[in-house]
A and B are shown apart, each in its own frame.
Chain A
């Protein structure tokens, strides 16, 4: 018997606290596979933010540090500057990166810091109970926008991958998703590319992952994936927005 797939060895046996069908589990698993396949276990340093994403600190047998709300890029800057040979990963959700920590991520990109940001965008504040986030879609119903998000009060959703791609310090920016097995493999390729650029000492690498939050969206997990494919992807188009490595070749 040959093993086609098994839980990555860098994972602990801890029971995952995420809700059933949460995209975080898939993304954590893919990052774990990449660390294992490339033997980065001794080099990887995670910087956890606040939000559902912070639960993952118990699931990896890898060094990590927990930052204040939104300040993960600031801490990652310090870790990367002190130990440039390490693989520094700032793993953040949308409430953390876009709302609370907007200035940190913007200035990290402006300074051209050489770490990787994995940005998990589920269009809602998941941990605190499904409130409206800056990334919430137009007309989307949440606990703080019960009549749907309206333009005159709250403006438009924020497309971070495009914004970061527009900053000269950014080396690589791509948006991927987890709605099908094929897209999960594309996400793995995108995160791998970002990690490789970082290990080569390039600028900021940014991967935005559009992810389902079945509990926050009040949907069953499979229905949440369908809604993600129908509605969320039209607001957040997938693709590579900047890849200086490809242009250099």
Chain B
């Protein structure tokens, strides 16, 4: 299965990844805040992920890593 890893402490809750993700089910805002007080995004359901890398491309913090299962 493909994998999306979000660096929780770098996330600033801009929601670009949530907005541009073509599947909309993979990422979700967490219920707890990180050290800086943001509700960081986390990867919840990887079944639909096609590893397109759009979430990582639009992330201004470089907080997202995308790996494709080959």
User: Which residue in A11, A21, A181 is a CB contact (below 8 Å) of B60?
Assistant: A21
Q: Number of contacting residues on B, CB 8 A?
A: 31
Q: Residues of A contacting B3 with CB < 8 Å?
A: 1
- A interface, size bucket: 20 to 34
Inter-subunit contact A5/B53 (CB<8 Å)? yes
Complex alpha-carbon distance, A25 and B17, angstroms: 14
Q: Residues of A contacting B56 with CB < 8 Å?
A: 4-6
Contact code string A6-41 (vs B, CB < 8 Å = 1, else 0): 111001000110111111111001001000000000
Given A1-B3, A222-B19, verify A20-B64 contact (CB < 8 Å).
Answer: no
| Residue A225 is within 8 A (CB to CB) of chain B in the complex | yes
- Number of cross-chain contacts by CB at 8 Å: 85
| Residue A3 is within 8 A (CB to CB) of chain B in the complex | yes
Q: How far is the CB of A9 from chain B (nearest CB, A)?
A: 11
Which A-chain residue is minimally distant from B35 (CB atoms)?
A15
Inter-subunit contact B60/A8 (CB<8 Å)? no
Interface residues of B (CB under 8 A from A): 3, 9-10, 12-16, 19-20, 36, 38, 51-54, 56-70
Interface residues of A (CB under 8 A from B): 1-8, 11, 15-16, 18-26, 29, 32, 180-181, 184-185, 214, 220-222, 225
